[in-house]
Structure 1
Amino acid sequence: MTRDQRRFQRQVDAMMRRYPRMGQRINPMMGRKQRLWRIPLAIFFIIGGFLAVLPIFGLWMLPLGVLLLAVDVPVLQPPASRGMIWLRRRLRRSDGHGVQKR
């Protein structure tokens, strides 16, 4: 396993620990046997992200599709890892975690 793959896996694990309900839905999709479902679902989410002007679709679908596709496409793992790190830091700030109290 390469450094980028380990980093990607650490970020996925951290997101699942922080948001267990999300982890319950995503964890079953991370298995090797689920590849036949994961890739078409990821492509659907990416296309749905570009169709955000329609009522059912939204921009939230784009990063989720990239995240699912990154499981099988190693080239996408470094940008997906950076995106998860950025998102976790933003969420931590908005939750009030990491803010020093005097």
Structure 2
Amino acid sequence: MAHVTINGQRYPLPGSPFIRLPLGLALVVGGIFGFLPVLGFWMVPLGLVILSVDFAPIRRQRRKLEVWWGRRRQRKKRAARPAE
């Protein structure tokens, strides 16, 4: 079984790329129609995360976003600490 790690948490994914690729593409395409009931714009990032397992360019962008988000959280955490 494949997995993707985001912010230190592991999320399981289907092990076969023959399942992951159609699933990721379906989520991205379905997310484009997010204005319709049941479908939502939340599907696009989820589909991209699933596709990032198999495609290096998407994986690099996901990793850059993850590093940026972690640094941002650290800065906010440091700024919220009371001065000693």
Identity %, equivalent residues: 27
CA distance in 2, matches of 1:65, 1:51: 13
> Displaced runs of 4+ in structure 1, greater than 6 A?
none
Greater fraction of residues in strand: 2
Q: Does the aligned pair in 1 maintain the 2:6–2:66 contact within 8 Å? A: no
Report the TM-score, using the length of structure 1 for normalisation: 0.59
**Unaligned stretches of 5+ residues in structure 1:** 1-8, 18-22
1:15 corresponds to: 7
**Unaligned stretches of 5+ residues in structure 2:** none
**1:86: how far off?**
4.2
Q: Which has the higher contact order (CA 8 A, sep 6+)?
A: 1
Greater fraction of residues in helix: 1
Q: Aligned residues, how many?
A: 79
Q: Deviations over 1:67-101 (max 9, x none)?
A: 111110112111111233345566x48xx855322
